């Protein structure tokens, strides 16, 4: 029996790849642009979230274009992934939905900004909670998707990439060597996450589910 396409590959790639690329570019450009405009800010010394912290110039604008908009755009891609792997088995389906939560947690980082002068503020606590939820859902969803996507013919490379991101994102977020500094390890984690979603968008446009 031949494989049954979930949907035509050309519209899938057309619909999913642009939001994924736009999300990544929006985050990268806003982090660089707002960072360059903030006196004394160093990309290798300060976390990205500082750009959106209360009390920082243009913080609200950064939170919208740096966190909320990229998260919402990636949620569109994640919703497509959930539909794409629906026939691949329960593990893949659950993994896809958990990864959708990671995109919403990323967007929520902009809804609950840090407080520069109050580490105990409710918004700061919620920001940290969203950060933890982001890497936890990335790890859990990535593992489940890697284990459950054998019938979604992304190939072994796809499953390995999902497993690697599931391991490295939380490792960079929590366990990276202190010598790296949190600013660098955080950016590596974000970069891996965005790169994986772009790969997922490409795979959705090219692959079918095995019978």
Q: How far is CA 43 from CA 72, 84, 133, 154, in A?
A: 24, 36, 24, 35
Residue 17 pLDDT exceeds 90 = no
Domain annotation covers residue 183:
yes
pLDDT at 210: 43
Q: What share of the chain is helix, strand, coil (3-state, %, to 5)?
A: 75, 0, 25
Domain annotation covers residue 3:
no
pLDDT at 70: 97
Domain annotation covers residue 15:
yes
Query: Domain containing 188: what range?
Result: 9-206
pLDDT at 190: 97
Domain annotation covers residue 125:
yes
Tens digit of pLDDT for each residue in 86-97? Answer: 887 888 899 999
pTM above 0.85, yes or no: yes
Domain annotation covers residue 4:
no
pLDDT at 152: 64
Of residues 208 and 95, more confidently modeled: 95
Tens digit of pLDDT for each residue in 130-162? Answer: 999 999 999 999 999 888 877 665 567 778 888
User: Do 147 and 93 form a contact (C-beta atoms < 8 A)?
Assistant: no
pLDDT at 1: 37
Domain annotation covers residue 211:
no
Total number of domains in the chain: 1
Distance, CA of 79 to CA of 61 (rounded, Å): 26
In this structure, the number of other CB atoms found within 10 A of the CB of residue 211 comes to: 9
């Amino acid at each position: 029996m031949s494989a049954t396409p979930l949907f035509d590959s050309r519209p899938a790639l057309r619909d999913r790849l642009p939001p994924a690329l736009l999300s990544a570019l929006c985050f990268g450009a806003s982090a660089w642009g707002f960072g360059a405009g903030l006196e004394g800010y160093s990309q290798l010394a300060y976390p990205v979230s500082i750009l959106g912290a209360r009390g920082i110039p243009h913080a609200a604008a950064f939170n919208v274009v740096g966190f909320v908009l990229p998260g919402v755009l990636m949620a569109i891609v994640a919703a497509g992934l959930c539909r794409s792997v629906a026939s691949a088995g329960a593990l893949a389906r659950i993994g896809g939905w958990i990864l959708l939560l990671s995109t919403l947690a990323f967007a929520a980082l902009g809804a609950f900004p840090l407080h520069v002068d109050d580490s105990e503020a409710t918004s700061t606590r919620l920001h940290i909670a969203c950060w933890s939820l982001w890497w936890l859902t990335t790890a859990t969803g990535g593992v489940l998707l890697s284990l459950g996507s054998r019938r979604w013919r992304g190939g072994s490379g796809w499953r390995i990439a999902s497993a690697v991101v599931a391991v490295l994102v939380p490792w960079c977020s929590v366990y990276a060597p202190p010598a790296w500094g949190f600013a660098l390890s955080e950016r590596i984690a974000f970069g891996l996450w965005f790169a994986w979603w772009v790969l997922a968008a490409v795979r959705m446009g090219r692959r079918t589910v095995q019978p």
